[in-house]
Amino acid sequence: MSQSVVWRASVLHFLEDPAKQQGSEDAWEFFEDGALLVEDGLITRCGPSDQVFKNLPAGTEIKDLTGRFLIPGFIDTHVHYPQLEVLAGCGVQLLDWLNQYTFPAEQKFADEQYASEIAQFFLDQCLSHGTTTALVFGTVAPQSVDAFFQQAHQRNLRMIAGKVMMDRNAPDYLLDTPQSSYEDSKALINRWHNKGRLSYAVTPRFAPTSSSEQLHMAGRLLREHDGLYLHTHLSENPKEIDWVQELFPDSKHYVDVYDQHGLLGPRSVFAHSVHLCDHSWQRMGSSGSSIAFCPGSNLFLGSGLFNLNRAKAHGIPTGLGTDVGGGTNLCLLNTMKDAYQVSQLREETISPLQAFYLATLGGARALHLDDKIGSFRTGNEADFLVLNPAATPMLQFRTEKTKTLEELLGVLMVMGDDRVIEKTIIMGQEA
Ligand SMILES: [Zn+2]
């Protein structure tokens, strides 16, 4: 039997990047008294409530949430679920941070029971923070990815994940080999890729921890299966970049290392990309690769200030990533605030509308999922959020005084956190 529910509230979603259409309101739709009709988990109508309510299908359930906001679910384009327990590890930059905090924590995920417990907690926290889709690192242990996908599948979430490939420059207990990483990844692809709403990402950690032979294996996996993602790190920290040049002396630059191994292209997502030369930017753009902009992590680890305008100039699809545990929380509202602060330091200030675009449709485009999620386009999957702009006394005090949509979004982005997320809806169902 078909299920039909209409949600009435203020409704906001994006059709385009507001940065491309400054001064125009064509990039988004906002219905102050709006409504969404969801039938069998899909969006079938979005508009002013008087229009959406006309000729509703018989038996439609009505949910009146006047005073609340409906927006598409947040998309986290780069996060490590096994790093939840090293959140807020202070005192070091990237390479020491990996050795001191991250690698010891990732060792525990060889135990599938442990991995399963953390995956459950991670997904609970994603949902309570309003994240409905994420591109997720596992660890080198394939069971870490089995555990994650198992939990995501049970909840019917649209998630992308993969096993870390890492055959050098890390503790022995975390190393695989080119052959074992190929075979383990292939088995995971066969078990999980395109199962329900899940997709697989080939996941070499970053160039320093993979031999050339292993990066070739990653390229081979991409060629052998349709629709896979490539997910890795790129040009996060100056010492890391120098190290890559030492390890791959024949490469022109960091991007070229991945390029030589066939790893660039649409559905390839590179986290950070903070320090890129002109040729790297061009190659990222011409190859159709995507970037996960992780401002919270870049600030916390002192990595640098990402150049969002440059990415836009080269037409590179860019989403936001929390990069937990380099980032300090799973909150995309907070990540928008960090992105805003990075843009301020660069004197290239982004608007709150642009920040909300990045966290929703921008992320969907970076993951090539905008035909399924990221907006309230007819036919999209009904993953969305109910936001309460008066979730705390301070927020109520401040949001009541806002006069425009943009001002309200600014307050939510700067002052809001997971308390603003009143409900998270997955395929039309409350999670
Ligand atoms: Zn990362």
Per-residue pLDDT reduced to its tens digit, 299-342: 999 999 999 999 999 999 999 999 999 999 999 999 999 999 99
Both 279 and 416 in one domain: the answer is no
Note the pLDDT of residue 73.
Answer: 98
The residue from 333, 366, 399 where one domain ends is 366
Note the pLDDT of residue 89.
Answer: 87
> Residue 424: what are its φ and ψ, rounded to 5°?
-120, 125
Note the pLDDT of residue 131.
Answer: 98
Both 150 and 16 in one domain: the answer is no
What is the chain's mean pLDDT, rounded?
97
Both 105 and 220 in one domain: the answer is yes
| Mean pLDDT for the stretch of residues 128-134 | 98
Both 78 and 185 in one domain: the answer is yes
Both 148 and 9 in one domain: the answer is no
Note the pLDDT of residue 238.
Answer: 96
Question: Is pLDDT of 1 > 70?
Answer: no
CATH of the domain at 11: 2.30.40.10
Range from 47-56, 97-106, 148-157, 180-189 carrying the lowest mean pLDDT: 97-106
* Band of residue 53 on the pLDDT scale cut at 50, 70, 90: very high
CA 326 to centroid of ligand 1, rounded, Å: 7
Q: What is the pLDDT of residues 241-259, one digit of tens each?
A: 999 999 999 999 999 999 9
Both 292 and 333 in one domain: the answer is yes
Residue 349: DSSP 8-state: P
CA 321 to centroid of ligand 1, rounded, Å: 9
- The DSSP line for 14-57 is ESS-GGGGTT-STTEEEEEEEEEEEETTEEEEEEEHHHHTTTPP
The residue from 318, 336, 366 where one domain ends is 366
Please state the separation of Cα 208 from the chain's center in Å.
23
| Mean pLDDT for the stretch of residues 114-139 | 98
* Band of residue 22 on the pLDDT scale cut at 50, 70, 90: confident
Note the pLDDT of residue 92.
Answer: 87
**Closest C-alpha among 321, 305, 295, 255 to residue 80:** 321
CA 378 to centroid of ligand 1, rounded, Å: 33
Percent of the chain with pLDDT over 90: 95
Question: Is pLDDT of 21 > 80?
Answer: no
CA 137 to centroid of ligand 1, rounded, Å: 8
Give the span between the Cα atoms of 124 and 115, in whole angstroms.
14
Number of separate domains in the chain: 2
Residue 291 in 3-state DSSP?
A: strand
Question: Is pLDDT of 394 > 80?
Answer: yes
Both 129 and 84 in one domain: the answer is yes
| Mean pLDDT for the stretch of residues 162-176 | 97
Structural domain including 129 reads 74-366
Q: What is the pLDDT of residues 54-101, one digit of tens each?
A: 999 999 999 999 999 999 999 999 999 999 999 988 888 889 999 999
CA 136 to centroid of ligand 1, rounded, Å: 9
| Mean pLDDT for the stretch of residues 226-249 | 97
Both 35 and 96 in one domain: the answer is no
The residue from 327, 345, 366 where one domain ends is 366
CA 133 to centroid of ligand 1, rounded, Å: 16
Percent of the chain with pLDDT over 70: 100
Both 224 and 264 in one domain: the answer is yes
Both 138 and 52 in one domain: the answer is no
Q: What is the pTM of this model?
A: 0.98
CA 75 to centroid of ligand 1, rounded, Å: 15
Both 89 and 66 in one domain: the answer is no
Both 68 and 80 in one domain: the answer is no
- Which helix (H) or strand (E) segment is 220 a member of? helix 212-224
CA 201 to centroid of ligand 1, rounded, Å: 14
| Mean pLDDT for the stretch of residues 274-284 | 98
